[in-house]
Structure 1
Amino acid sequence: MVESEEGASLSEQLLESSRRNNTELLLSIKSALGNDQVKLSELINSTHEVITNNSPLHIACHSGHWEFIDIILDIEGVEIDPANREGDTPLHVAVRYSADEPEHGTFVVDGMLDAGSDPRIKNKHGLKPIDYVNKDNDKLRDLLESAEYAISMEIPPEQQLQNGDDEDDEGSASDSD
């Protein structure tokens, strides 16, 4: 792995960037990789803290580092729902952050949901992100409930094919009124 003058690997630099919301360091990592989306997403997806297995996205969500998160979410191929040692996704962590910073936390969670984070994922304790919402944060609860509902209403492409492809009724299903 490429090392900086200080000897820190790109993974170590990425973790440090996520801890400090250091977007300049993140952009220099992107530049060091020639702004190659594949190399960058592979680096991000393979970088984790040793003990907690937190990804850079987990770390940034823990502190509400939106600037870092926003750049990461724009990189094609980045896994946005990786699980840490406890099975928490970055969305779980962002919801916990909202307990101390309700407005900014809700903003971060909204951004994560817009990027495709799945609010239905349960951690090792069987809890979804919504289970960590403070009782008095109705806005965040509504946001997560709406996201779950929207996902539940989506019909997977393979089911769409099955629903419209009935052997006994070759194509006439769309003609019924």
Structure 2
Amino acid sequence: MASNNERLLFAAKNDNEDLILEIFGKPGSFNINYIDGLGNTALHYAASKGSIYVLEHILSHEDCDVDPINRLEKATPLHLAVKISDPELRFHVVESLLEAGADTKIKDKWGTIAIDLVPANDERTRGAFRLAQVANQISYLM
């Protein structure tokens, strides 16, 4: 039988909101930042697959690390989210991660920050990055 950590990863990969709610109903029985063999967390999978319902639940968990770095690409969930092909889904996932405080300055193993991976014609997502960077600068000054 799969552990709750493995079930959490499955829920993230498949946007299974019922399953994540069931797991969340058993506090202490799972690690929200559980890392699989590739160094991915549920947040990596939810971000890369565009699992918006599960993503919101993961981000709402008080112990959620929004910037875990995986093993193969040294990528954060934000790096993976900007690769989503559907522009609307990409914007929603990126915006959710940025609102949760994702760090826009982390570089992957190729030295690339997430905004560099946003398609050139996606001004809406690029705008979300700019807003997050301005908000970070303002909060730094206060």
The one of 26, 37, 46 equivalent to 1:60 is: 46
CA displacement 1:19-71 (0-9 Å, x = unmatched): 111111111112233xxxxx36x6011x1221x21110000111110100001
Determine if contact 2:81/2:90 at 8 Å carries over to the other structure. yes
Matching of residues 15-164 of structure 1 within 5 Å? 15-33=9-27, 39=28, 43-45=31-33, 47-50=34-37, 52-85=38-71, 86-97=73-84, 100-155=85-140
Structure 1 counterpart of 2:9, one-letter code: L
TM-score when normalising by structure 2: 0.91
Partner-residue secondary structure (3-state), 2:82: helix
TM-score when normalising by structure 1: 0.74
Unaligned runs of 5+ in 1: 1-6, 34-38, 161-177
CA distance in 1, matches of 2:137, 2:118: 20
After TM superposition, the runs of 4+ consecutive aligned structure 1 residues lying more than 3 A away are none
How many residue pairs end up in the alignment?
141
Q: Larger relative CO (CA 8 A, sep 6+): 1 or 2?
A: 2
Determine if contact 1:61/1:108 at 8 Å carries over to the other structure. yes
Q: CA deviation at 1:107?
A: 1.2
CA distance in 2, matches of 1:144, 1:155: 16
Determine if contact 1:120/1:148 at 8 Å carries over to the other structure. no
| Aligned residues: CA RMSD | 1.6
Unaligned runs of 5+ in 2: none
Determine if contact 2:32/2:61 at 8 Å carries over to the other structure. no
Identity fraction in percent: 34
Q: Give the number of the structure whose alpha-carbon radius of gyration is greater.
A: 1
CA distance in 2, matches of 1:107, 1:31: 26
CA displacement 1:110-165 (0-9 Å, x = unmatched): 11111111111111211111010101111111211221233234337xxx7xxxxx
CA distance in 1, matches of 2:109, 2:139: 26
Structure 2 counterpart of 1:111, one-letter code: S
